[in-house]
């Protein structure tokens, strides 16, 4: 559908005879602007199109789903600008801590480290690779945050 729209610069649609709403929802997510489907009052009705049709209740669900898809596609989340979420990030991101008592001179291994909330109380947890293999210059108690001043 996207190739047809790009190539011919015309509205594109989807003709569905699956007897359910999922193919139309998928087509909508791919920017189909026209949907063609068969509708019956009851799937048990007589006729060759009944099994390939959807019910009025399914049409309601289909329309609701399409509106949700349109809303999602027309309101993308911009993940590059996180400034508005700085407080939340600080609350939910983590700092490195040690999970046991460690003496000065200990060489740090991954097993000694834990990520602990909140961010900003030591080395960011995302920087854990930078401390592995480093030596402690200070003694640390269990659950102490690991700071740059603590390592050589």
Tokens of 74: 């027309």
Cα(64)–Cα(48) distance, integer angstroms: 28
Query: So what's the pLDDT on residue 10?
Result: 93
Q: What is the DSSP string of 36-81?
A: E-EEES-TTSSSTTGGGEEEHHHHHHHHHHHHHHHHHHHS----S-
By DSSP bridging, strand 53-55 and strand 95-98 are unpaired
Domain boundaries, the chain: 2-74, 83-150
Mean pLDDT, the chain, rounded, equals 92
pTM > 0.85:
no
Cα(56)–Cα(40) distance, integer angstroms: 7
82-95: burial string, b at 16+ Cβ within 10 Å, e else = eeeeeeeeeeeebb
Whether 152 has a pLDDT exceeding 80, the answer reads: yes
Query: So what's the pLDDT on residue 79?
Result: 77
Query: So what's the pLDDT on residue 27?
Result: 96
pLDDT digits (tens, 9 = 90+) for 58-73: 999 999 999 999 999 9
pLDDT digits (tens, 9 = 90+) for 21-68: 999 999 999 999 999 999 999 888 888 889 999 999 999 999 999 999
Report, as an integer, the average pLDDT of 91-118.
94
Whether 88 has a pLDDT exceeding 90, the answer reads: no
Q: Domain 83-150 has what CATH class?
A: alpha beta
């Amino acid at each position: 559908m996207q190739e047809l729209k790009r190539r011919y610069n015309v509205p594109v649609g989807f003709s569905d005879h699956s007897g359910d709403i999922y193919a139309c929802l998928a087509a909508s997510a791919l920017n189909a602007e026209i949907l063609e489907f068969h509708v019956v009052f009851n799937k048990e009705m007589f006729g060759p199109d009944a099994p390939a049709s959807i019910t009025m209740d399914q049409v309601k669900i289909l329309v609701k789903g399409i509106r949700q898809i349109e809303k999602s596609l027309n309101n993308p989340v911009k993940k590059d600008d996180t400034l508005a979420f700085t407080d939340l990030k600080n609350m939910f991101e983590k700092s490195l801590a040690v999970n046991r008592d460690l003496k000065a001179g200990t060489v740090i291994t991954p097993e000694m480290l834990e990520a602990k909330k909140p961010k900003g109380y030591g080395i960011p947890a995302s920087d854990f690779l930078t401390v592995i293999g480093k030596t402690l210059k200070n003694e640390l108690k269990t659950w102490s945050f690991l700071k740059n001043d603590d390592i050589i």
